[in-house]
Structure 1
Amino acid sequence: MIHEIKGGYVKSDTRKDITTIEFYHPQSNSMPGKLLQELALEIHAAGNDDSTRVIVLRSGGDTVFCSGASFDELNAISTPEQGFAFFSGFAQVINTLRKCPKLVIGRIHGKCVGGGVGLAAAVDYAIAAEGAEIKLSELAVGIGPFVVGPAVERKIGASAFSQLAIDATMWRNADWARRKGLYAELHPNLESMDESIARLASTLAASSPDAMQELKKIFWKGTDHWDQLLTERAAISGRLILGEFSRTAIEKFKTKVKA
Protein backbone atom coordinates (compact mmCIF):
# COMPACT_ATOMS: atom_id res chain seq x y z
CA MET A 1 0.00 0.00 0.00
CA ILE A 2 1.31 3.45 -0.92
CA HIS A 3 0.09 6.92 0.07
CA GLU A 4 1.53 9.74 -2.07
CA ILE A 5 2.14 13.10 -0.37
CA LYS A 6 3.23 16.08 -2.53
CA GLY A 7 6.13 14.31 -4.20
CA GLY A 8 6.72 12.03 -1.24
CA TYR A 9 5.01 8.94 0.07
CA VAL A 10 4.41 6.50 2.90
CA LYS A 11 4.17 2.87 1.86
CA SER A 12 4.04 -0.51 3.53
CA ASP A 13 4.71 -4.07 2.41
CA THR A 14 4.22 -7.31 4.36
CA ARG A 15 6.19 -10.45 3.56
CA LYS A 16 6.75 -13.49 5.75
CA ASP A 17 5.21 -11.78 8.80
CA ILE A 18 7.54 -8.76 8.42
CA THR A 19 5.95 -5.40 7.56
CA THR A 20 8.29 -2.81 6.12
CA ILE A 21 7.05 0.79 6.37
CA GLU A 22 8.91 3.34 4.26
CA PHE A 23 8.53 7.12 4.16
CA TYR A 24 10.07 9.52 1.68
CA HIS A 25 10.06 13.22 0.90
CA PRO A 26 12.16 14.88 -1.81
CA GLN A 27 13.34 17.58 0.61
CA SER A 28 15.88 15.40 2.46
CA ASN A 29 13.12 13.20 3.89
CA SER A 30 11.66 16.11 5.81
CA MET A 31 8.27 15.54 7.39
CA PRO A 32 5.25 17.66 6.48
CA GLY A 33 2.10 17.19 8.53
CA LYS A 34 0.37 14.92 6.03
CA LEU A 35 3.36 12.57 5.94
CA LEU A 36 3.43 12.42 9.75
CA GLN A 37 -0.26 11.60 9.79
CA GLU A 38 0.04 8.82 7.21
CA LEU A 39 3.11 7.38 8.93
CA ALA A 40 1.28 7.14 12.25
CA LEU A 41 -1.68 5.46 10.53
CA GLU A 42 0.55 2.87 8.82
CA ILE A 43 2.37 2.03 12.06
CA HIS A 44 -0.95 1.69 13.88
CA ALA A 45 -2.38 -0.54 11.15
CA ALA A 46 0.65 -2.84 11.10
CA GLY A 47 0.66 -3.04 14.87
CA ASN A 48 -2.91 -4.33 14.84
CA ASP A 49 -2.53 -6.65 11.84
CA ASP A 50 -2.34 -10.34 12.76
CA SER A 51 -0.23 -11.01 9.66
CA THR A 52 2.52 -8.75 11.07
CA ARG A 53 4.87 -9.96 13.78
CA VAL A 54 7.62 -7.38 13.46
CA ILE A 55 7.89 -3.96 11.78
CA VAL A 56 10.87 -2.45 9.97
CA LEU A 57 10.77 1.36 9.71
CA ARG A 58 12.92 2.91 7.00
CA SER A 59 13.10 5.90 4.69
CA GLY A 60 13.63 6.14 0.97
CA GLY A 61 16.66 7.50 -0.86
CA ASP A 62 20.30 6.92 -0.04
CA THR A 63 21.42 10.06 1.80
CA VAL A 64 19.49 11.52 4.76
CA PHE A 65 17.38 9.25 6.95
CA CYS A 66 15.17 12.10 8.13
CA SER A 67 15.79 15.85 8.32
CA GLY A 68 12.91 16.50 10.70
CA ALA A 69 10.23 19.14 10.34
CA SER A 70 9.31 20.54 6.94
CA PHE A 71 10.61 24.12 6.81
CA ASP A 72 7.96 25.02 4.24
CA GLU A 73 5.25 24.10 6.74
CA LEU A 74 7.07 25.72 9.65
CA ASN A 75 7.24 28.93 7.63
CA ALA A 76 3.51 28.75 6.87
CA ILE A 77 2.45 28.53 10.55
CA SER A 78 0.70 31.76 11.54
CA THR A 79 -1.23 30.89 14.72
CA PRO A 80 -0.49 28.92 17.91
CA GLU A 81 -3.25 26.51 16.90
CA GLN A 82 -1.56 25.77 13.59
CA GLY A 83 1.75 25.33 15.37
CA PHE A 84 0.22 22.97 17.89
CA ALA A 85 -1.41 20.93 15.12
CA PHE A 86 1.88 20.57 13.23
CA PHE A 87 4.02 19.52 16.19
CA SER A 88 1.25 17.20 17.37
CA GLY A 89 2.05 15.17 14.25
CA PHE A 90 5.45 14.27 15.69
CA ALA A 91 3.83 13.51 19.03
CA GLN A 92 1.37 11.18 17.32
CA VAL A 93 4.10 9.23 15.51
CA ILE A 94 6.20 8.80 18.66
CA ASN A 95 3.21 7.74 20.73
CA THR A 96 2.07 5.34 18.01
CA LEU A 97 5.51 3.70 17.99
CA ARG A 98 5.43 3.56 21.79
CA LYS A 99 2.01 1.93 21.97
CA CYS A 100 2.45 -0.35 18.95
CA PRO A 101 2.17 -3.94 20.24
CA LYS A 102 4.83 -5.13 17.78
CA LEU A 103 8.57 -4.58 18.04
CA VAL A 104 9.87 -1.98 15.58
CA ILE A 105 13.33 -2.16 14.02
CA GLY A 106 14.68 1.13 12.66
CA ARG A 107 16.86 1.17 9.53
CA ILE A 108 18.98 4.30 9.94
CA HIS A 109 20.96 4.62 6.71
CA GLY A 110 21.91 8.31 6.90
CA LYS A 111 21.87 11.54 8.87
CA CYS A 112 19.13 12.29 11.41
CA VAL A 113 18.12 15.84 12.30
CA GLY A 114 15.57 16.95 14.91
CA GLY A 115 12.50 14.80 14.50
CA GLY A 116 14.63 12.23 12.71
CA VAL A 117 16.59 11.68 15.94
CA GLY A 118 13.23 11.31 17.67
CA LEU A 119 12.23 8.54 15.25
CA ALA A 120 15.52 6.72 15.79
CA ALA A 121 14.96 6.94 19.54
CA ALA A 122 11.33 5.81 19.42
CA VAL A 123 11.91 2.54 17.56
CA ASP A 124 12.68 -0.47 19.72
CA TYR A 125 15.95 -1.44 18.03
CA ALA A 126 17.85 0.92 15.72
CA ILE A 127 20.42 -0.51 13.29
CA ALA A 128 22.56 2.11 11.58
CA ALA A 129 25.30 2.49 8.99
CA GLU A 130 28.40 4.69 9.08
CA GLY A 131 27.47 8.23 8.20
CA ALA A 132 24.27 8.20 10.26
CA GLU A 133 25.25 11.34 12.14
CA ILE A 134 22.77 13.07 14.43
CA LYS A 135 21.89 16.62 15.43
CA LEU A 136 19.07 18.19 17.44
CA SER A 137 18.90 21.52 15.60
CA GLU A 138 15.73 22.92 17.16
CA LEU A 139 17.34 25.56 19.39
CA ALA A 140 19.03 27.04 16.33
CA VAL A 141 15.59 27.92 14.94
CA GLY A 142 14.22 29.33 18.16
CA ILE A 143 12.38 26.32 19.54
CA GLY A 144 13.72 23.19 21.23
CA PRO A 145 13.45 19.40 21.00
CA PHE A 146 10.40 19.44 23.24
CA VAL A 147 8.27 16.79 21.53
CA VAL A 148 11.06 14.33 20.68
CA GLY A 149 12.91 15.03 23.92
CA PRO A 150 11.26 12.36 26.10
CA ALA A 151 12.02 9.63 23.53
CA VAL A 152 15.61 10.76 23.05
CA GLU A 153 16.27 11.19 26.77
CA ARG A 154 14.75 7.78 27.51
CA LYS A 155 17.15 6.14 25.07
CA ILE A 156 20.43 7.99 25.68
CA GLY A 157 20.03 9.57 29.13
CA ALA A 158 19.64 13.11 30.39
CA SER A 159 23.30 14.11 30.01
CA ALA A 160 23.67 13.09 26.37
CA PHE A 161 20.27 14.52 25.51
CA SER A 162 21.16 17.87 27.06
CA GLN A 163 24.41 17.94 25.10
CA LEU A 164 22.51 17.48 21.84
CA ALA A 165 19.83 20.00 22.78
CA ILE A 166 22.24 22.72 23.89
CA ASP A 167 24.84 22.46 21.11
CA ALA A 168 22.24 22.51 18.37
CA THR A 169 24.59 23.11 15.44
CA MET A 170 27.12 20.35 16.12
CA TRP A 171 26.90 16.97 14.44
CA ARG A 172 27.62 13.89 16.55
CA ASN A 173 28.94 10.97 14.55
CA ALA A 174 27.28 7.57 14.36
CA ASP A 175 29.74 5.99 16.77
CA TRP A 176 28.83 8.62 19.39
CA ALA A 177 25.17 7.69 18.89
CA ARG A 178 25.96 3.99 19.23
CA ARG A 179 28.01 4.49 22.39
CA LYS A 180 25.20 6.54 23.95
CA GLY A 181 22.66 3.82 23.15
CA LEU A 182 20.68 5.45 20.36
CA TYR A 183 21.86 2.82 17.89
CA ALA A 184 21.90 -0.82 18.95
CA GLU A 185 24.24 -1.67 16.08
CA LEU A 186 26.50 0.31 13.75
CA HIS A 187 27.68 -1.21 10.47
CA PRO A 188 30.44 -0.10 8.09
CA ASN A 189 28.19 -0.13 5.02
CA LEU A 190 24.58 -0.49 3.85
CA GLU A 191 24.99 -4.12 2.82
CA SER A 192 26.14 -5.18 6.28
CA MET A 193 23.37 -3.13 7.89
CA ASP A 194 20.66 -4.68 5.71
CA GLU A 195 21.96 -8.20 6.34
CA SER A 196 21.69 -7.62 10.08
CA ILE A 197 18.19 -6.14 9.77
CA ALA A 198 17.04 -9.11 7.69
CA ARG A 199 18.53 -11.56 10.20
CA LEU A 200 16.92 -9.92 13.23
CA ALA A 201 13.56 -9.37 11.52
CA SER A 202 13.43 -13.05 10.48
CA THR A 203 14.33 -14.17 13.98
CA LEU A 204 11.63 -11.99 15.54
CA ALA A 205 9.06 -13.08 12.95
CA ALA A 206 9.58 -16.63 14.20
CA SER A 207 9.33 -15.62 17.86
CA SER A 208 6.29 -15.62 20.14
CA PRO A 209 4.03 -12.60 19.43
CA ASP A 210 2.69 -12.70 22.98
CA ALA A 211 6.15 -12.77 24.51
CA MET A 212 7.34 -9.88 22.33
CA GLN A 213 4.26 -7.84 23.22
CA GLU A 214 4.87 -8.38 26.94
CA LEU A 215 8.53 -7.45 26.49
CA LYS A 216 7.56 -4.24 24.76
CA LYS A 217 5.31 -3.30 27.67
CA ILE A 218 8.30 -3.71 30.00
CA PHE A 219 10.61 -1.71 27.74
CA TRP A 220 8.20 1.23 27.71
CA LYS A 221 7.19 1.04 31.37
CA GLY A 222 6.66 4.47 32.93
CA THR A 223 5.59 6.24 29.72
CA ASP A 224 1.82 5.97 30.05
CA HIS A 225 1.63 9.74 30.62
CA TRP A 226 3.23 10.53 27.26
CA ASP A 227 -0.07 11.15 25.49
CA GLN A 228 -0.53 14.19 27.71
CA LEU A 229 3.16 15.07 28.01
CA LEU A 230 3.87 15.19 24.27
CA THR A 231 0.67 17.16 23.69
CA GLU A 232 1.88 19.75 26.19
CA ARG A 233 5.29 19.80 24.52
CA ALA A 234 3.68 20.31 21.09
CA ALA A 235 1.93 23.39 22.45
CA ILE A 236 5.27 24.84 23.60
CA SER A 237 6.84 24.38 20.16
CA GLY A 238 3.70 25.66 18.47
CA ARG A 239 3.94 28.89 20.47
CA LEU A 240 7.68 29.42 20.11
CA ILE A 241 7.72 28.89 16.34
CA LEU A 242 5.75 32.14 16.00
CA GLY A 243 8.45 34.17 17.76
CA GLU A 244 10.55 36.74 15.91
CA PHE A 245 13.72 34.69 16.40
CA SER A 246 12.16 31.62 14.74
CA ARG A 247 10.66 33.63 11.85
CA THR A 248 14.07 35.16 11.09
CA ALA A 249 15.97 31.88 11.47
CA ILE A 250 13.62 29.99 9.16
CA GLU A 251 13.80 32.72 6.54
CA LYS A 252 17.61 32.64 6.67
CA PHE A 253 17.54 28.86 6.25
CA LYS A 254 15.21 29.01 3.26
CA THR A 255 17.37 31.72 1.65
CA LYS A 256 20.48 29.61 2.19
CA VAL A 257 18.83 26.55 0.60
CA LYS A 258 17.78 28.56 -2.47
CA ALA A 259 21.25 30.11 -2.91
Structure 2
Amino acid sequence: MKHTLIRAALVALLAPALAQADQFQASGGIFNGNDYGTSYAGAGGYTPLSNQALGQVVDGGNNAFDAFGFYNAGTDGLSQTRQVELLSGNVYRFFDTFTNTGSTPITTTLNFFGNLGSDGDELVSVNSAGLIVSCTDDGAGSCTGQPVLALVSGNNGLGQAAITPDRYNVRYTVSLAAGQSLSLLNFAFLASDINGPTADDQALAASTGAQLLAAPRLEGLSEQQIAGIANYTVTPVPEPASWLLAAAGLGLLGLARRRPH
Protein backbone atom coordinates (compact mmCIF):
# COMPACT_ATOMS: atom_id res chain seq x y z
CA MET A 1 0.00 0.00 0.00
CA LYS A 2 2.81 2.37 0.94
CA HIS A 3 4.62 1.74 -2.35
CA THR A 4 1.38 2.26 -4.27
CA LEU A 5 0.86 5.66 -2.64
CA ILE A 6 4.45 6.67 -3.35
CA ARG A 7 4.12 5.60 -6.98
CA ALA A 8 0.85 7.52 -7.34
CA ALA A 9 2.45 10.62 -5.84
CA LEU A 10 5.38 10.39 -8.25
CA VAL A 11 3.05 10.01 -11.23
CA ALA A 12 1.11 13.09 -10.11
CA LEU A 13 4.31 15.10 -9.76
CA LEU A 14 5.69 14.00 -13.11
CA ALA A 15 2.45 14.29 -15.09
CA PRO A 16 2.98 17.92 -16.19
CA ALA A 17 6.53 17.17 -17.30
CA LEU A 18 5.40 14.07 -19.18
CA ALA A 19 2.64 16.04 -20.90
CA GLN A 20 5.16 18.65 -21.99
CA ALA A 21 7.54 15.96 -23.23
CA ASP A 22 4.79 14.56 -25.45
CA GLN A 23 4.09 17.90 -27.14
CA PHE A 24 4.92 18.11 -30.84
CA GLN A 25 7.24 20.85 -32.09
CA ALA A 26 5.71 23.59 -34.23
CA SER A 27 7.44 24.13 -37.56
CA GLY A 28 8.90 27.41 -38.76
CA GLY A 29 6.55 28.01 -41.65
CA ILE A 30 6.88 31.82 -41.61
CA PHE A 31 6.86 33.21 -45.17
CA ASN A 32 9.57 35.78 -45.99
CA GLY A 33 8.70 36.35 -49.64
CA ASN A 34 10.79 33.55 -51.09
CA ASP A 35 11.09 30.86 -48.45
CA TYR A 36 9.87 29.77 -45.01
CA GLY A 37 11.70 30.04 -41.69
CA THR A 38 11.32 30.67 -37.97
CA SER A 39 11.22 34.47 -38.23
CA TYR A 40 10.51 37.41 -40.50
CA ALA A 41 11.30 41.10 -40.12
CA GLY A 42 10.48 43.68 -42.73
CA ALA A 43 7.68 45.32 -44.64
CA GLY A 44 4.01 44.90 -43.86
CA GLY A 45 2.28 41.61 -44.38
CA TYR A 46 -0.68 42.62 -46.54
CA THR A 47 -0.99 41.77 -50.22
CA PRO A 48 -4.17 41.25 -52.25
CA LEU A 49 -3.40 37.52 -52.44
CA SER A 50 -3.38 36.03 -48.95
CA ASN A 51 -0.96 33.26 -49.90
CA GLN A 52 1.69 35.91 -50.63
CA ALA A 53 1.38 37.88 -47.38
CA LEU A 54 4.79 38.50 -45.82
CA GLY A 55 5.25 37.09 -42.33
CA GLN A 56 2.23 34.81 -42.46
CA VAL A 57 2.49 31.30 -41.01
CA VAL A 58 1.74 28.50 -43.44
CA ASP A 59 0.88 25.12 -41.90
CA GLY A 60 2.73 25.80 -38.64
CA GLY A 61 2.74 22.15 -37.61
CA ASN A 62 0.10 19.46 -38.09
CA ASN A 63 -1.87 21.68 -40.48
CA ALA A 64 -2.78 24.22 -37.81
CA PHE A 65 -2.94 27.04 -40.36
CA ASP A 66 -3.44 27.59 -44.06
CA ALA A 67 -2.39 31.24 -44.03
CA PHE A 68 -2.30 32.87 -40.62
CA GLY A 69 -1.21 36.17 -39.16
CA PHE A 70 -1.40 39.21 -41.41
CA TYR A 71 -3.53 42.33 -41.87
CA ASN A 72 -5.98 42.12 -44.76
CA ALA A 73 -7.84 45.41 -44.24
CA GLY A 74 -7.50 48.90 -42.80
CA THR A 75 -3.88 49.60 -43.71
CA ASP A 76 -4.53 52.26 -46.39
CA GLY A 77 -2.54 55.42 -45.67
CA LEU A 78 -0.33 53.69 -43.12
CA SER A 79 3.15 52.25 -43.43
CA GLN A 80 3.63 48.89 -41.74
CA THR A 81 6.66 47.01 -40.47
CA ARG A 82 6.54 43.69 -38.69
CA GLN A 83 8.47 41.10 -36.72
CA VAL A 84 7.10 37.56 -36.75
CA GLU A 85 8.84 34.88 -34.72
CA LEU A 86 8.40 31.30 -33.57
CA LEU A 87 9.34 31.56 -29.90
CA SER A 88 10.15 28.62 -27.68
CA GLY A 89 7.25 26.45 -26.59
CA ASN A 90 5.22 26.53 -29.83
CA VAL A 91 4.34 30.24 -29.54
CA TYR A 92 4.12 32.41 -32.65
CA ARG A 93 4.45 36.14 -31.99
CA PHE A 94 3.31 38.86 -34.40
CA PHE A 95 4.58 42.37 -33.66
CA ASP A 96 3.32 44.99 -36.13
CA THR A 97 4.01 48.72 -36.17
CA PHE A 98 1.82 51.15 -38.12
CA THR A 99 2.76 54.76 -38.88
CA ASN A 100 0.64 57.54 -40.32
CA THR A 101 3.00 58.96 -42.93
CA GLY A 102 0.48 61.52 -44.17
CA SER A 103 -0.31 65.06 -43.06
CA THR A 104 -3.82 64.47 -41.69
CA PRO A 105 -5.19 62.20 -38.92
CA ILE A 106 -6.35 58.69 -39.85
CA THR A 107 -8.98 56.60 -38.07
CA THR A 108 -9.26 53.08 -39.41
CA THR A 109 -10.11 49.50 -38.43
CA LEU A 110 -7.17 47.16 -38.87
CA ASN A 111 -8.09 43.51 -39.37
CA PHE A 112 -5.63 40.84 -38.21
CA PHE A 113 -6.54 37.72 -40.14
CA GLY A 114 -5.90 33.99 -40.03
CA ASN A 115 -7.17 31.13 -42.17
CA LEU A 116 -7.11 28.06 -39.94
CA GLY A 117 -6.19 24.65 -41.28
CA SER A 118 -9.46 22.98 -40.41
CA ASP A 119 -11.35 24.07 -43.55
CA GLY A 120 -14.47 23.50 -41.48
CA ASP A 121 -16.04 24.38 -38.16
CA GLU A 122 -13.97 25.15 -35.09
CA LEU A 123 -14.85 23.92 -31.61
CA VAL A 124 -14.35 26.94 -29.33
CA SER A 125 -13.79 26.07 -25.67
CA VAL A 126 -12.72 29.53 -24.43
CA ASN A 127 -13.92 32.86 -25.79
CA SER A 128 -13.10 35.62 -23.34
CA ALA A 129 -11.76 39.13 -23.73
CA GLY A 130 -8.53 38.79 -25.69
CA LEU A 131 -8.36 34.97 -25.73
CA ILE A 132 -9.91 32.30 -27.94
CA VAL A 133 -9.09 28.60 -27.52
CA SER A 134 -10.28 26.37 -30.35
CA CYS A 135 -9.71 23.16 -32.24
CA THR A 136 -11.10 21.54 -35.36
CA ASP A 137 -14.56 20.13 -34.67
CA ASP A 138 -15.00 16.51 -35.74
CA GLY A 139 -18.74 17.08 -35.99
CA ALA A 140 -19.42 15.28 -32.72
CA GLY A 141 -18.11 17.88 -30.30
CA SER A 142 -14.52 16.61 -30.08
CA CYS A 143 -11.16 17.77 -31.44
CA THR A 144 -9.66 16.13 -34.50
CA GLY A 145 -5.94 15.51 -35.03
CA GLN A 146 -4.98 19.14 -35.64
CA PRO A 147 -3.52 21.23 -32.79
CA VAL A 148 -5.55 23.05 -30.19
CA LEU A 149 -4.97 26.79 -30.65
CA ALA A 150 -4.76 29.58 -28.09
CA LEU A 151 -5.16 32.86 -29.99
CA VAL A 152 -4.34 35.96 -27.95
CA SER A 153 -5.19 39.49 -29.11
CA GLY A 154 -4.54 41.77 -26.11
CA ASN A 155 -5.68 42.49 -22.58
CA ASN A 156 -7.11 46.01 -22.72
CA GLY A 157 -10.17 45.54 -24.92
CA LEU A 158 -8.83 47.21 -28.07
CA GLY A 159 -9.08 44.03 -30.16
CA GLN A 160 -12.41 42.39 -31.01
CA ALA A 161 -11.76 38.76 -32.00
CA ALA A 162 -13.99 36.10 -33.58
CA ILE A 163 -13.80 32.78 -35.46
CA THR A 164 -16.32 32.28 -38.32
CA PRO A 165 -16.12 29.30 -39.01
CA ASP A 166 -12.43 28.59 -39.69
CA ARG A 167 -11.27 32.17 -40.17
CA TYR A 168 -9.85 34.12 -37.26
CA ASN A 169 -10.31 37.89 -37.33
CA VAL A 170 -9.33 40.58 -34.85
CA ARG A 171 -10.59 44.10 -35.49
CA TYR A 172 -8.60 47.00 -34.02
CA THR A 173 -10.10 50.47 -34.44
CA VAL A 174 -7.27 52.98 -34.08
CA SER A 175 -6.67 56.69 -34.57
CA LEU A 176 -3.27 58.02 -35.58
CA ALA A 177 -2.27 61.66 -35.85
CA ALA A 178 0.05 62.69 -38.66
CA GLY A 179 3.45 61.13 -38.00
CA GLN A 180 2.18 58.99 -35.11
CA SER A 181 2.97 55.27 -34.72
CA LEU A 182 1.51 52.42 -32.71
CA SER A 183 2.19 48.70 -32.44
CA LEU A 184 -0.09 45.67 -32.13
CA LEU A 185 0.95 42.37 -30.59
CA ASN A 186 -0.70 39.01 -31.34
CA PHE A 187 0.12 35.46 -30.26
CA ALA A 188 -0.81 31.98 -31.44
CA PHE A 189 0.05 28.98 -29.26
CA LEU A 190 -0.23 25.42 -30.57
CA ALA A 191 -0.89 22.47 -28.25
CA SER A 192 -0.99 18.91 -29.49
CA ASP A 193 0.14 15.59 -28.13
CA ILE A 194 2.39 13.73 -30.56
CA ASN A 195 -0.51 11.35 -31.18
CA GLY A 196 -3.09 14.13 -31.52
CA PRO A 197 -4.87 16.60 -29.21
CA THR A 198 -6.26 15.43 -25.88
CA ALA A 199 -8.25 17.06 -23.08
CA ASP A 200 -4.91 17.87 -21.46
CA ASP A 201 -3.92 19.83 -24.56
CA GLN A 202 -7.09 21.90 -24.33
CA ALA A 203 -6.22 22.68 -20.71
CA LEU A 204 -2.64 23.50 -21.70
CA ALA A 205 -3.83 25.84 -24.46
CA ALA A 206 -6.21 27.60 -22.07
CA SER A 207 -3.57 28.05 -19.35
CA THR A 208 -0.85 29.16 -21.78
CA GLY A 209 -3.23 31.59 -23.45
CA ALA A 210 -4.17 33.05 -20.06
CA GLN A 211 -0.48 33.48 -19.24
CA LEU A 212 0.17 35.28 -22.54
CA LEU A 213 -2.83 37.49 -21.87
CA ALA A 214 -1.65 38.48 -18.39
CA ALA A 215 2.08 38.65 -19.15
CA PRO A 216 2.83 38.80 -22.90
CA ARG A 217 6.17 37.43 -24.01
CA LEU A 218 8.29 40.46 -24.85
CA GLU A 219 11.77 38.95 -25.05
CA GLY A 220 13.85 40.49 -27.81
CA LEU A 221 11.74 43.65 -28.06
CA SER A 222 13.26 47.00 -27.17
CA GLU A 223 11.89 49.35 -24.51
CA GLN A 224 10.76 51.68 -27.30
CA GLN A 225 8.89 48.88 -29.05
CA ILE A 226 7.22 47.78 -25.82
CA ALA A 227 6.19 51.34 -24.99
CA GLY A 228 4.36 51.60 -28.33
CA ILE A 229 2.14 48.52 -27.87
CA ALA A 230 -1.49 49.65 -28.04
CA ASN A 231 -3.45 46.44 -27.34
CA TYR A 232 -1.80 45.43 -24.06
CA THR A 233 -1.43 47.09 -20.72
CA VAL A 234 2.16 46.16 -20.00
CA THR A 235 3.80 46.59 -16.61
CA PRO A 236 7.38 47.74 -17.23
CA VAL A 237 10.08 45.42 -15.87
CA PRO A 238 12.98 47.32 -14.24
CA GLU A 239 16.35 46.98 -15.94
CA PRO A 240 19.03 44.99 -14.06
CA ALA A 241 20.84 48.23 -13.20
CA SER A 242 17.66 49.54 -11.58
CA TRP A 243 17.34 46.37 -9.51
CA LEU A 244 20.96 46.73 -8.37
CA LEU A 245 20.45 50.35 -7.36
CA ALA A 246 17.29 49.46 -5.47
CA ALA A 247 19.04 46.58 -3.70
CA ALA A 248 21.97 48.82 -2.78
CA GLY A 249 19.59 51.43 -1.42
CA LEU A 250 17.78 48.88 0.72
CA GLY A 251 21.13 47.61 2.00
CA LEU A 252 22.23 51.09 3.05
CA LEU A 253 18.86 51.68 4.70
CA GLY A 254 19.29 48.45 6.66
CA LEU A 255 22.76 49.47 7.82
CA ALA A 256 21.49 52.87 8.91
CA ARG A 257 18.73 51.25 10.97
CA ARG A 258 21.16 48.86 12.67
CA ARG A 259 23.70 51.58 13.51
CA PRO A 260 23.59 52.40 17.25
CA HIS A 261 22.47 55.91 18.16
TM range (shorter): under 0.3
Q: Radius of gyration: which is bigger?
A: 2
Larger relative helix fraction:
1
